[in-house]
Amino acid sequence: MLSKILQTFVFRFSSAIFSFVIVLITAHLLGTEGRGELSLLLVSITFILMLNNFIGGPSLVYLVPRYPSIQLLKISYAWGFIVCILGTIMLKTFSLIPDWLLFPVFLLSVLQSIVTIHHFFLLGKKEIKVVNIIAFTQPFMQILLILLIYWHQMLNVIQVIYAMYFSYTITVLFSIYTMRNYFFVDVAFVDVALEVKKEKSLWKDMISYGFMNQVANIAQLISYRANYYFLSAIVGIEALGIFSTGTSVAESVWLIGTSISLVQYSDIANTNDKMYAKVTTLSLLKLSCLATIIALIVVNILPSEFYVFIFGNQFSEIKVVLLWLSPGILAISMGIVISHFFSGTGRYYINAVSSGIGMLFSIISAYYFINHYQIMGASMVTSISYVISTILLFYFFIKKEKVALKEFIPKISDVRMLIEQFRTKTTNN
């Protein structure tokens, strides 16, 4: 497992570097207004994908080892396309984004939904390396085209969107190629009546598991990103550009926790050993916490002048965003490991409750904090909502798994277990 985590971290770190360079280039060339427009585009795509993931999302990881591939895929594709249409109509109806962004949001949502379905399907098959390459492809191709465009002419928001079209299309084609062995493997059935019965059962499981999982994810999205809309409406698009850029820097630290939880989720979903799942989660939680603390120290000791030098004079308030988000980022680095434990064991409702309460705090308090403290207020609300959700995840983990508080203290045995897993994997390879 440790070798997969390290491999995942390398790929995700490389992807994060590309994403950071994209943020850097767009911040310098497009300014706060351009960054704000791109932020609205990206958060709108994320919103639609959250709806898409009710069927073809993270719950696939749990369902893939338990159902025929072709049935899972055809249901996921159909649902994804319908949701992309309805999601775009919803954005138009409530005037959440400018009209000129509607088509880019729709097209990019369709492309990304296909990639997302393939991502979680392959994760359920424990194809970690392929999943990492797919995740790496999109930002790599995007920055390649952005640099190519900038080499010939001045960059604008429309050209960045064209670069996204290109990178997402290439990623979709590559992901389809990696999925080629799964498209027809389950087509021929001997007992048709039995398979119809299985498909009805599959619909029920996909809806039940997917619903609870996406209630949690949508609640997380609202907690994480609702402040984008509040900040844009109350303070202005320039403030959103600063806040979103600072958030991108702070959340790059999540790379550690997401690398760990991705491998953990795939592993736990494919085992019925409850003790193994619990012990592994405890060790990985401690690893995620310690590594995140180190990363946050590095991010926060850098002076404000450094971020002004990197992003430009308009982004002088980024250090404020980083300082206030840090407690929440640390909390979520542990919470994400626990939430993936519950997801891997099919208990999505726990994540839904924890994320839902964090979301309620974010919605109720956002207007007051942002109205009074502006960018700092948005950072405070986001961070506190992360902490609330993580505290609840700890509560459920301790209660459901009968975990003693002393088990959260790092021990030498945790290091030994991870090293032993790495040696075992290396020997098997």
| Alpha-carbon span 238 to 244, nearest angstrom | 10
Identify which has the larger pLDDT, 31 or 422: 31
pTM above 0.75, yes or no: no
Please state the three-class secondary structure of the chain as a single string.
CHHHHHHHHHHHHHHHHHHHHHHHHHHHHHHHHHHHHHHHHHHHHHHHHHHHHHHHCCHHHHHHHHCCHHHHHHHHHHHHHHHHHHHHHHHHHCCCCCHHHHHHHHHHHHHHHHHHHHHHHHHHCCCHHHHHHHHHHHHHHHHHHHHHHHHHCCCCHHHHHHHHHHHHHHHHHHHHHHCCCCCCCCCCCCCHHHHHHHHHHHHHHHHHHHHHHHHHHHHHHHHHHHHHHHHHHHCCHHHHHHHHHHHHHHHCCHHHHHHHHHHHHHHHHCCCCHHHHHHHHHHHHHHHHHHHHHHHHHHHHCCHHHHHHHHCHHHCCHHHHHHHHHHHHHHHHHHHHHHHHHHHCCCHHHHHHHHHHHHHHHHHHHHHHHHHHHHHHHHHHHHHHHHHHHHHHHHHHHHHHCCCHHHHCCCHHHHHHHHHHHHHHHHHC
Name the least confident of 38-42, 188-192, 214-218: 188-192
Alpha carbon 362 to chain centroid distance? 19
Mean pLDDT throughout 25-32?
A: 80
Report CA-CA distances (Å) from 160 to 22, 117, 143, 245: 9, 25, 9, 16
Residue 274 has which token pair? 């409850």
pLDDT at 418: 60
The mean predicted confidence, pLDDT, of the chain is 84
- Whether the per-residue pLDDT at 184 is higher than 70: the answer is no
Buried b (16+ CB within 10 A) or exposed e, 99-128: eebeebbbbbbbbbbbbbbbbbbbbbbbbb
Alpha carbon 292 to chain centroid distance? 17
- Whether the per-residue pLDDT at 257 is higher than 70: the answer is yes
The band of 424, judged by pLDDT with boundaries at 50, 70 and 90, is low
| Alpha-carbon span 15 to 245, nearest angstrom | 16
Quickly count: other Cβ atoms within 10 Å of residue 341's Cβ.
Answer: 27
| Alpha-carbon span 67 to 69, nearest angstrom | 6
- Whether the per-residue pLDDT at 118 is higher than 90: the answer is yes
pLDDT at 189: 39
Report the candidate in 321, 319, 163 with the shortest Cα–Cα distance to residue 240.
Answer: 321
For 313, what's the count of Cα atoms within 13 Å in the CB-facing half-sphere?
0
- Whether the per-residue pLDDT at 156 is higher than 50: the answer is yes
| Alpha-carbon span 133 to 405, nearest angstrom | 38
Angle at 319 between CA 161 and CA 17, to 5 degrees: 45
- Whether the per-residue pLDDT at 194 is higher than 60: the answer is no
Share of the chain above pLDDT 90, in %: 30
pLDDT at 415: 66
Say which amino acid occupies 131: V
Q: Which residue has the tokens 């390649």?
A: 144
The band of 419, judged by pLDDT with boundaries at 50, 70 and 90, is low
Q: Which residue has the tokens 């959700």?
A: 389
- Whether the per-residue pLDDT at 57 is higher than 70: the answer is yes
The band of 193, judged by pLDDT with boundaries at 50, 70 and 90, is very low
- Summarised one tens digit per residue, pLDDT across range 224-238 is 777 888 888 888 888
The band of 191, judged by pLDDT with boundaries at 50, 70 and 90, is very low
Residue 252 has which token pair? 């790059």
The band of 199, judged by pLDDT with boundaries at 50, 70 and 90, is low
- Summarised one tens digit per residue, pLDDT across range 344-387 is 888 888 988 999 999 999 989 988 999 999 999 999 999 999 99
pLDDT at 429: 44
pLDDT at 421: 57
- Summarised one tens digit per residue, pLDDT across range 384-400 is 999 999 999 999 999 99
The band of 17, judged by pLDDT with boundaries at 50, 70 and 90, is confident
Name the least confident of 86-95, 165-174, 418-427: 418-427
Report CA-CA distances (Å) from 31 to 157, 216, 238: 10, 34, 8
pLDDT at 192: 40
